[in-house]
Structures are given as C-alpha cells and as structure tokens.
C-alpha cells in the first residue's frame, strides 16, 4: 500500500481548529479530533499546527507511549520534494468561548503570558499531556545527573580501592548531612495537614486530599526512621579501627553546610503541597540509590583481587546497604508523591525545576567531600 504524500503548501492550508494538521518527523497527522482532548486548550496546537513541529516535540523528550498516541492521527508523509512555506492563518471564531463570548484564536494566544514565548507554551502543554513530572525532571540535566551518580569516589568504592581516610572523610560529612535531613523532615511534618479541618487559611493546594496527606506522612515517617538508623550505622563504622586511626577533619565543611541550609530552606518555603521539598527529597534519594547501584555494578565487574579486611568488608557493606530492595521501594514511593503534584501553572513547574537543578549541583560536589575539598 502506497503512502500518501503531502506538500507543505497543502499542509499549510489546514490551520484551523476545525481542520488542523501537524508534521512530526516527516509524518503528517490530522490532529483535529485531538484539539478537544488537549488539557492545555486547542490554542497552542493551532499555533503550532499546519507546519513542522518536530523540534518542539523532541525538545520535551516524549515517552514511547506519547509517540504511540500519534499513530491514530497519521494520514501520510511529507513530500520530500516540497519545502516549508509560511502559514497564513485567519482568525477563527470559537463560538463556545468563556461565558458564550466568541474568541479570536490569534488574539487569545497573544493574551497568554509565558516567559518562553508561544513555542515554549506549546512544549509545556505537550509535556503536560504525556510525561510524568519525574520523567521531565530527569530529562532536563542528564549530564549533571550522570556526574552525581558516577563520581570517582563511587568507582573507588566499587573497586575497593578507596583510601580509608577518604571514606572516613565522606562519612563524617554525610553524618552532618543527616542532621539537616532530619530537620527537613521535621519541618515538612510540622507543615503537613493530615485532615481537612487542619488546613491553614490560604492553603490553596488544589490536589489536597486526606488520603494523600496520610501517604506523605507515611513516607516522611519512614525517612525519619531510616535516617536515624543510618546515623547510628555511620557512628558504628567510624569507630572501626581503620577509620578511628585515620587523620581526617572532624569539622563540617562549607559545602555540607550549604547543602544542609538549602534543604531546610526548601522545606520552609515550599508551597502548601510541599511540592518543592518533595522534589528535593525524591531527587536526593534517587541520586543516592542510583549512585550506590553504580558502585555495586563496578564492584561486580571489577577484576581487583579482594582481601578480607575490615575496610574492604565495610565498602561491601555500604554498597549492600544502599542498594537494598527496601530502599528502592522507598524511592518509588517518593517518586509517586512527586508525580501527583499539580504543576499546571508554568511558574510552579519552573519552581520545581529550579530546586531539582540546585540539588543536582549540590550532589555532584558532595562526593568531593571525601577528598578534603
């Protein structure tokens, strides 16, 4: 069966709400039926319709499911001999505008306030439709995430070549970090309304339910219990002979202080849904989980000859501790809470992205605390 080819001249004519085509990856889609289903409204689709929208679509990093959604609207492919043309749009009256007032499509778009312009608005709503919030966050700075989870320190632990004084130095700073983590959990719990009648005046969280609040409390309670256990674990390790005899600074380093101050600040300043703090919690945990799984992977593929020493066994113990299935379940629960956040306001999404980027930067440098930097 031959594929129907369309030139850009023909495609450009289909530029209204009642007749809208779009080109993605050289394929032509009639997305007219999709206009009514789009959560961001049809305006943004109309603005990007009747032309090649591949760049905007790809910038989002859509999932396979999102791409599969397009198949039902496929009508053909772009004629390779044709060249893009300017789309001339006519104002189209939408009879069912707010309060029955007709809307002019072009003027309605112009009234939208979005810092990145109309193309970014299109990207935002396509992303809103097809991606989980955590998927989006993981896609925006992959290089930093890679650095945070594949640090030299982790490789040295995996190959059992990390020096005892370096492991001790990092553990001391991570124990200081547990103090900030505990304070962050405490602040979040103190702000959490477990029941509807406990909500503060001005609480405008549209996604609030008592069930969700209870789930947040469950996750935070587990986090507190786990960090208490972890602090005791660190103290027990640091008392072992190889580390007790090492000469390493016992003071909290400036970068650790900065990290601790940041997580406390976010917990205080998050929205009523604790969104920014939940993003930080999830980001810290998924980075840590992936980082130690990387160390374990390095260890399993290492050809280093192992010796049965306290230090070697400690390295193995740390890798086992932070790659347990129970930890993975906790990370998934944090992820689920983040994916339930309402981020339909682009300004809110920008705030969530900001704290994610900041925690990434802190995590990248935190591994360097092993080396007295």
DSSP string, 18-51: TEEEEEETTEEEE-GGGGGT-TT-SHHHHHHTTS
Cα distance between the two ends of the chain: 65
Rounded to whole angstroms, the Cα distance separating 89 from 46 reads 9
pLDDT of 64: 66
pLDDT of 208: 87
Cα–Cα distance list, 246 to 54, 149, 233, 260 (Å): 57, 26, 18, 25
Q: Are 54 and 25 a contacting pair, CB within 8 Å? A: yes
Rounded to whole angstroms, the Cα distance separating 144 from 35 reads 37
In the chain, CATH 1.20.910.10 sits at 132-371
In the chain, CATH 3.10.120.10 sits at 5-129
Rounded to whole angstroms, the Cα distance separating 320 from 305 reads 19
The pTM score is: 0.67
Q: Are 9 and 87 a contacting pair, CB within 8 Å? A: no
- CATH class, range 132-371: mainly alpha
In sign, the C-alpha dihedral spanning 109, 110, 116, 118 is positive
Other CB atoms within 10 A of residue 162 CB = 22
Per-residue pLDDT of the chain in tens (373 residues, 90 and over written 9): 578 999 999 999 998 888 899 999 999 999 888 876 655 556 667 777 888 888 767 765 556 666 777 888 899 999 989 988 888 765 444 333 333 333 333 333 333 344 444 455 555 555 444 578 999 999 888 999 999 999 999 999 999 999 999 999 999 999 999 999 999 999 999 999 999 888 888 888 888 899 999 999 999 999 999 999 998 999 999 999 999 988 877 888 988 999 999 999 999 999 899 999 999 999 999 999 999 999 999 998 876 667 889 999 999 999 999 999 999 999 999 999 999 998 878 888 899 999 999 999 999 989 999 986 5
pLDDT of 106: 36
Residue written as token pair 């007790």: 244
**Where does 5-129 sit in CATH, by number?**
3.10.120.10
pLDDT of 122: 52
């Amino acid at each position: 069966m031959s594929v129907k080819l369309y030139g850009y001249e023909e495609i450009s004519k289909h530029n209204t709400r009642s007749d809208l085509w779009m080109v993605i990856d050289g394929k032509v889609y009639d997305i007219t039926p999709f206009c009514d289903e789009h959560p961001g409204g049809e305006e943004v689709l109309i603005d990007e319709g009747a032309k090649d929208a591949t760049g905007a679509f790809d910038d989002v990093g859509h999932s396979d499911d999102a791409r599969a959604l397009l198949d039902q609207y496929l009508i053909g492919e772009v004629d390779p001999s044709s060249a893009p043309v300017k789309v001339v749009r006519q104002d189209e009256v939408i009879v069912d505008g707010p309060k029955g007032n007709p809307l002019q499509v072009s003027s309605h778009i112009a009234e939208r306030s979005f810092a990145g312009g109309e193309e970014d608005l299109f990207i935002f709503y396509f992303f809103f439709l097809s991606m989980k919030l955590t998927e989006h966050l993981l896609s925006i700075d992959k290089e930093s995430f890679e650095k945070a989870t594949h640090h030299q320190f982790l490789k040295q632990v995996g190959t059992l070549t990390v020096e005892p004084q370096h492991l001790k130095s990092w553990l001391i700073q991570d124990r200081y970090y547990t103090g900030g983590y505990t304070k962050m959990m405490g602040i979040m719990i103190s702000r959490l309304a477990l029941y509807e009648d406990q909500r503060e005046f001005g609480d405008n969280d549209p996604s609030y339910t008592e069930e969700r609040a209870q789930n947040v409390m469950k996750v935070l309670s587990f986090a507190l219990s786990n960090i208490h256990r972890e602090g005791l674990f660190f103290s027990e390790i640091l008392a072992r002979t190889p580390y007790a005899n090492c000469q390493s600074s016992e003071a909290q380093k400036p970068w650790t202080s900065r990290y601790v101050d940041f997580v406390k600040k976010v917990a205080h300043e998050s929205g009523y849904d604790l969104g920014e703090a939940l993003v930080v919690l999830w980001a810290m945990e998924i980075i840590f989980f992936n980082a130690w799984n990387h160390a374990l992977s390095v260890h399993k593929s290492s050809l280093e000859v192992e010796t049965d020493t306290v230090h070697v066994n400690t390295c193995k113990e740390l890798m086992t501790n932070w790659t347990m299935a129970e930890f993975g379940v906790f990370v998934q629960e944090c992820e689920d809470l983040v994916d339930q956040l309402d981020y339909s306001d682009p300004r809110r999404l920008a705030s969530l992205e900001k704290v994610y980027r900041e925690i990434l930067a802190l995590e990248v440098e935190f591994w360097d605390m092993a080396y007295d930097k």
